[in-house]
Amino acid sequence: MNILQNITVLGSTGSIGVSTLDVIRRHPERYRVFALCAHSQLEKLFEQCCEFRPRFAVLRDAPLASLLAERCRAAGLDTEVRHGIEALIELSSLPEVDAVMAAIVGAAGLEPTLAAARAGKKIMLANKEVLVMAGELFMRAVRESGASLLPVDSEHNAIFQALPTDFARGLTACGVRRILLTASGGPFRNTPLADLQGVTPEAACAHPNWVMGRKISVDSATMMNKGLEVIEAHWLFAAPPERIQVVVHPQSVIHSAVDYADGSVLAQLGNPDMRTPIAYALAYPERIEAGVEPLDLFKIGRLEFFDPDFERFRCLQLAYDVLHQGGTAPAILNAANEVAVAAFLDRQLPFLGIARLNEEVLSKVQAGPEGSLADVLAADAEARQVASRLIKECRFA
C-alpha cells in the first residue's frame, strides 16, 4: 500500500512544474499537492489551485498574492495564499512536506531549495543554478541532514540511472571512466557564425527537440545550459571536470551515458519528454506511468554524435573555466548570464553579446571562496550590478 506523499512544487507554472503536476494528476493515490509556488502567473496558478486544492499557494509579490487570495475565496477554496521568499523557504521545510520539486528558474530558487536540504527533505532538483552557485554548501547540507537528492534534468537523471547505486564511494572505485553528457546543440548548431549576430529571441527560443521556458531555451542556444550542467554533474557525482565530456547528440534520444573502465557504456534512452525524469524522481526507486510515448527506435532511424565547437559555444568553455577556478566563480558566471539573457530577450543585447558580456563580468568581478551563503549572494549581487552597468554602457551592441 502506497503512503500519500505531500509535495511542494517550487515553480509550478513553468514547464517543469506543469509536467510535474501532469504526472501527479495520474497518481492521486500516491501524491498530494501541499503547496504551489509561482513567480507572477496569477491566472495559471489559480487554475492549478482549483484543480489540486493545495493547502498553500505562493506568489512573489503581495499585491498579486492578495488578488489570488480573493479568487480562491470566491471559488470556495481553503488554500492559504502567501507571498515572498520567506514563504518559499517555509513551505520547502515544513514537517508536513515529504518532497520538494525545485523547479524555480535561476538564482531565485537557491534559498528555498537549500532550506529543503537543511530540513532533510526528498529534493527533486530541476534548478541547476542551486549547484552552480552553491554546490559545496548545498551538498554539505544534503549530507548533514540526510536529505534525498534526485536529479530531474534529463541528462543528470540519465547519469543517475546509469551509475551504480554506490557511486558516492567514488567514480574510480566504481569503475567509472567518464561521464558522457549529451547536448542537442540547440537551434544554431549548424548556423554560420557570421549569421549569429542577428539572431532574434524568437529564433533562439525555438528549440528543435524540447519544450522549455524562454530563459533555458536561450541557454540551450548558447550552450550555457550545458555548461551549467557540467558544473551540476561535478557536484552531483563528485566528478572532476576532465571526466565530464560533452557530446553533441542532435536527436536527444540518448539523454546521457556512463563510460566504464571495462569498455562498457551504459546509456539511458527515451523520447525527449521531461515527464520521464520527473516520474523517476517522484517514485524512486519504483517506476510509474508518466504519460510518455514509448520510444520507437525504428522511427528514429539513426543517432548522431559530434564534438562540441567551443569557439561557437563560448559559454560552454567559460563554464569549464569557472569550474576549474572554483569558489564563487560559478556564481558570478551564472549571475552575469541571467542578466545577459534577460537583456537579449528584451532586445538590449545581441545574441553573441551574451558570451562576451559573461566573459567581461568574469574579468571584472573577483571570485572568492564559497564560505557561506552570504559570500555566494554577495558575489551574485556584484556580478549582476557589473553586468547591468556594462549593458547600459552599450559595450556589446
Pairwise CA distance, residues 297 & 255, whole Å: 14
pTM of the model: 0.93
Q: What is the pLDDT of residues 5-47, one digit of tens each?
A: 999 999 999 999 999 999 999 999 999 999 999 999 999 999 9
The pLDDT score that the predictor gives to residue 373 is: 93
Pairwise CA distance, residues 327 & 135, whole Å: 10
The three-state secondary structure class of 235 is helix
The pLDDT score that the predictor gives to residue 396 is: 67
Known binding residues are: 13-16, 127-129, 153-155, 184, 207, 213, 220, 225-226, 229
Domains and CATH numbers, the chain: 5-151 (3.40.50.720), 160-272+307-393 (1.10.1740.10)
The pLDDT score that the predictor gives to residue 197 is: 85
The pLDDT tens digits along the chain (397 residues) read 468 999 999 999 999 999 999 999 999 999 999 999 999 999 999 999 999 999 999 999 999 999 999 999 999 999 999 999 999 999 999 999 999 999 998 788 999 999 999 999 999 999 988 999 999 999 999 999 999 999 999 999 999 999 998 898 899 999 999 999 999 998 898 888 888 888 999 988 886 666 677 888 999 999 999 999 999 999 999 999 999 999 999 999 999 999 999 999 999 999 999 999 999 999 999 999 999 999 999 999 899 999 999 999 999 999 999 999 999 999 999 999 999 999 999 999 999 999 999 999 999 999 999 989 999 999 999 999 999 999 999 766 6
The pLDDT score that the predictor gives to residue 211 is: 63
The pLDDT score that the predictor gives to residue 132 is: 95
Known binding residues for 1-deoxy-D-xylulose 5-phosphate are: 128, 154-155, 184, 207, 220, 225-226, 229
Nearest Cα neighbor of 286 from 17, 12, 27, 18 is 27
How many Cα atoms are found within 13 Å in the side-chain-facing hemisphere of 83?
A: 14
Residue 258 C-alpha cell reads as 556512463
The pLDDT score that the predictor gives to residue 74 is: 97
Cβ atoms of residues 75 and 48 within 8 Å: no
Known binding residues for NADPH are: 13-16, 127, 129, 213
Q: Could you check whether the bond before residue 63 is cis, i.e. omega within 30 degrees of 0? A: no
The pLDDT score that the predictor gives to residue 193 is: 85
Q: Could you give the residue ranges of the DSSP H alpha helices within the chain?
A: 15-25, 42-52, 62-74, 85-91, 110-118, 129-145, 154-162, 201-204, 214-222, 224-237, 275-283, 297-300, 314-325, 329-345, 353-364, 373-392
Phi/psi at 32 (5° precision): -125, 135
Q: What is the pLDDT of residues 258-301, one digit of tens each?
A: 999 999 999 999 999 999 999 999 999 999 999 999 999 999 98
The pLDDT score that the predictor gives to residue 391 is: 95
Known binding residues for Mn(2+) are: 153, 155, 229
The pLDDT score that the predictor gives to residue 210 is: 62
